[in-house]
Amino acid sequence: MGRIPYPLLQTWKSIIQTTPSPFLLSLPRLELHLHLEGTLTPTLRFTLARRNNIPLTSARLHKTFTSVEELQEAYQLLEPASIKGPGVSAFFEAYYGGMECLREERDFYELGMEYFARASRMGVRYCEVMFDPQAHTRRGIPVPVLMAGLRRAELDAEEKLDVKREKCKCTPIHNVHPARRSPLIRPPALRVHRPTLPPHDRRHRARQQRVPAPAVAQPDAHVHLKQILTEPLRLHRVDHGLDAAVSGDLVELMRGMGEGFGMTICPWAYVRHCTEDELFGGIRRLWDEGVKISFSSDSPAYVQGNWVVENLALLKMKGGFSDEELVQCQRNAVEMCWASEEIKKELLEEIEKFWEEWKRGQVGA
Ligand SMILES: [Zn+2]
């Protein structure tokens, strides 16, 4: 079985958008794996670039974008390499290129506020939003500038949107450029990136593209996962660790990590790289083996606007996840998250109340 065809992905997306699940629309949900920079939509990027006089260009496409529509075209990043050119580089060109428009305090403020407003509309009850200071300092943006913008956004979101700071806060991560193939560390979790991510060097990239991704990815990913799972760290969480699904040893190691340990998986971030069985079969194997999983969206603006609810919908539609299992995912997230015990209790109570009312048919009545 080959990778998931692009037209099929579009069909899934269309079904999810046109027939939203009433259950998912009402489910109180948490998101533990979200990159703030990955929420920068083409529309906001266009506005900020205009204001800051930053040209919107793509070296890969030899193109300067003069309208939002043109820019949106370049965000069809789930397309296969044969359509959009070398695949992963298109993602990282858009992701890192997108940040160029973030220059001033108010740019970071608007990025933060746009996400907080969306989270509020999407029914996200708790979110751990990561941002990457180094991606900005290496562009010459001082840390106080971005921190001031994000801080102001947190305060305003609390006041104007009723998004409580302790339930939706921005956390810096120590991020290494993904091309270096290093694990991304955010205390106290440890992040693992698939080693299929793009190397800097073009020749290396070309060589890699001739090799089937699973053949090169899985052994490295397994070694990598094994290293971090056996390191004497106070490890709470693994992100991007789906590859563990095919290794009984790794599953065993994860199960042995103890209470509070879990994994975040962002299904729409995997669809370009996987077969259906690798993705949905892998998630199901981990789940059935008892690995605690919470589902998130990672960088939704760069996976064609599939936010957390669309990730849950994909699991319901293609991953065979029942309503009860999707409620359990939210309980898992509460257990894995870094909220205070008081907030955790509040979140759990809301989830249980919703679930009881849903089963009695009282939600949305
Ligand atoms: Zn991520």
Domains of the chain: residue spans and CATH: 6-39+124-359 (3.20.20.140)
pLDDT, position 234: 60
Q: What is the spatial distance between Cα 194 and Cα 211, in angstroms, rounded to a whole number?
A: 15
Question: How wide is the angle at C-alpha 112 spanned by C-alphas 183 and 172, nearest 5°?
Answer: 30
Element holding 154 (H helix, E strand): helix 143-160
pLDDT, position 2: 84
Spacing, Cα 296 to ligand 1 middle (Å):
9
Q: What is the spatial distance between Cα 329 and Cα 325, in angstroms, rounded to a whole number?
A: 6
- Total-model pTM: 0.85
Spacing, Cα 266 to ligand 1 middle (Å):
8
Spacing, Cα 359 to ligand 1 middle (Å):
34
143 near 133, Cβ under 8 Å?
yes
Model confidence pLDDT, tens digit, residues 312-352: 999 999 999 999 999 999 999 999 998 999 999 999 999 99
Spacing, Cα 240 to ligand 1 middle (Å):
7
Structure tokens at 140: 């010459």
Spacing, Cα 74 to ligand 1 middle (Å):
21
pLDDT, position 232: 59
| Backbone angle region of 268, left / alpha / beta, with phi > 0 → left and psi within -120 to 50 → alpha | alpha
Spacing, Cα 178 to ligand 1 middle (Å):
10
256 near 216, Cβ under 8 Å?
no
Mean pLDDT for back-to-back runs of 10 residues, the chain (365 residues): 90 96 94 95 97 91 91 86 62 90 97 94 91 92 95 92 82 57 36 34 34 33 70 71 84 81 92 92 94 94 95 96 97 92 95 96 73
Q: What is the spatial distance between Cα 77 and Cα 172, in angstroms, rounded to a whole number?
A: 26
Spacing, Cα 300 to ligand 1 middle (Å):
10
The SS3 of residue 293 is strand
Model confidence pLDDT, tens digit, residues 308-319: 999 999 999 999
Spacing, Cα 193 to ligand 1 middle (Å):
8
Spacing, Cα 184 to ligand 1 middle (Å):
9
Structure tokens at 327: 């409620």
Model confidence pLDDT, tens digit, residues 168-201: 878 887 654 444 333 333 333 333 333 333 333 3
What are the DSSP calls for 39-82, one per residue? G--HHHHHHHHHHTT---EETTTTEE--SHHHHHHTT-TTS-HH
Spacing, Cα 358 to ligand 1 middle (Å):
32
Q: What is the spatial distance between Cα 168 and Cα 159, in angstroms, rounded to a whole number?
A: 13
Which residue has tokens 């956390």? 171
pLDDT, position 204: 36
